[in-house]
Amino acid sequence: MLTALIRITLSCLVCVVLSINPAFAAETIKFALIEPLSGPFANIGNNGLRGFVAEFDRINARAGVLGRNLELISFDNKSNPQETVQQL
């Protein structure tokens, strides 16, 4: 849970720096998450996904980042490194 919070915090900081331009204010900030949602490590991936969803909901409830909502797009790598490479 702590590593997920650190990832989100760092990602948000990057988004703040990259979204200084007010022309992008109406767009959502999209994040891709590739986790093992099935297979032998599904428990770890699902816990991580729940953490990200909870944190994104909390951030979006507080007006997002610079007025922009965060959107999480998750992918299942099926606990297989080759699946991760193919999804990149």
Question: Which secondary structure element, helix H or strand E, spans residue 54, and what is its range?
Answer: helix 42-61
Chain segment 31-47, per-residue pLDDT in tens: 888 888 888 888 988 99
Chain segment 48-80, per-residue pLDDT in tens: 999 999 999 999 999 888 889 999 998 888 887
Beta bridge partners of 71: 30
For residue 12, pLDDT beyond 80 = no
Global pTM reads 0.63
What domain range is 26 assigned to? 2-87
Q: Which residues contact 30 (CB under 8 A, 6 or more apart)?
A: 70, 71, 72, 73
- Arithmetic mean of pLDDT, 76-88: 75
**Token pair belonging to 72:** 């999480």
pLDDT at 76: 87
- Arithmetic mean of pLDDT, 21-31: 71
How many domains, in total, are found in the chain?
1
